[in-house]
Amino acid sequence: MKIGILTSGGDCPGLNAVIRGAVLKGIAVHGQEFVGYRDGWRGVVEGDVIDLPRTSVRGIAKQGGTILGTSRTNPFENNGGPEVIKAHMERLGIDAIIAIGGEGTLAAARRLTDAGLKIVGVPKTVDNDLDATDYTFGFDTAVEIATEAIDRLRTTGESHHRCMIAEVMGRHVGWIALHSGMASGAHGILIPEQRVSIHEIAEWVKLAHDRGRAPLVVVAEGFVLEGMDAPHSERGLDTFGRPRLGGIAEQLAPEIELYTGIETRATILGHIQRGGVPTAFDRVLATRLGAAAIDSVVEGRWGTMVSLRGTEIAHVGFEEALGRLKVVPQHRYDEARVLFG
């Protein structure tokens, strides 16, 4: 059996570990053959592949990024579609596809599966926002990177007696902000799931400042300030029609300074959260998911993705995974909120 592997959407620590896990198990246990699609769905639409022998995945689990490249190509555009993809698969002798990606990637995989293609999915997102899996690889690494950066911001804030705002990724959920904010001892954490007024934020900042602390606020890029209609976005839409978020910290900084009189600086961590080597947790999880994806292929579980339930790997349908975003529940935010100010 010949299997094509693709990585699509934003890059993420752990992608190479998934590829390695799938290729090693597929070759060692089932004698399968592998190719990798270059640059995600673009390679699928154009039939652009590279061979993935065992030697090609040697030592890559610790590497960040993806050896296959990635893109945000929509496989139903750019002269693509199910028939074009099927024709390329037949020409290349590819029997099935393992699609590694986030919500956009898996939504496209679901449509293609409905059109008759043999596809299984592996969930990938630093945002940890995919339902039907407890954690996604890349999230732990992103939180570690964000926490280290915020710790560094705290020292300069204390030196200058400033309020520091750190903006982290997460799109429409606040998992990275919640975890990195709690880990770094933030005096306020702002997430999309919770509307907060500028007056309340200013109060947290003043309380910390009055105790002789340099106030620290962590904000998710998708946070919507009370009174705003939608998350701040000035960079248009991506190829799947979703807004490119970012910049809310720079909007909040002058407002906080105006209300508190405390000098305030904003830092947007941005893509630094996606880069570098994955943590041990992410390497192990990614490897397990890659190996489990081979089980899905062997068992013909088309239209499903592998997921983490507790400490065990499960297989769930795309419809279950894509039904809704996995948001931060109220009780998790309440745990953190006790520590604000």
Beta-ladder partners of 325: 130
**In whole angstroms, what is the distance from residue 82 CA to residue 337 CA?**
48
Output the DSSP codes for 52-67: --GGGGTT-TT--S-T
Q: Which residues carry a binding-site annotation for substrate?
A: 125-127, 162, 169-171, 221, 265, 271-274
Q: Which residues carry a binding-site annotation?
A: 10, 72-73, 102-105, 125-127, 162, 169-171, 221, 265, 271-274
Sheet architecture: strand order including 163-168: 188-190, 216-220, 163-168, 264-268
Residue 135 CB partners (closer than 8 Å, separation 6+): 128, 285, 308
**In whole angstroms, what is the distance from residue 127 CA to residue 136 CA?**
8
With DSSP H G I counted as helix, E B as strand and the rest as coil, what are the percentages for the chain, rounded to 5?
40, 20, 40
Residues acting as catalytic residues? 127
Q: Which residues carry a binding-site annotation for Mg(2+)?
A: 103
Instruction: At 164, list the tokens.
Output: 């520091």
Q: Are strands 312-317 and 33-37 parallel, antiparallel or unpaired?
A: unpaired
Report the candidate in 123, 157, 150, 55 with the shortest Cα–Cα distance to residue 282. 123
Q: Which residues carry a binding-site annotation for ATP?
A: 10, 72-73, 102-105
Roughly what angle, to the nearest 10 degrees, separates helices 280-298 and 15-30?
A: 40
8 A C-beta contact, residue 62 and residue 30? no
**In whole angstroms, what is the distance from residue 77 CA to residue 1 CA?**
28
8 A C-beta contact, residue 27 and residue 3? no
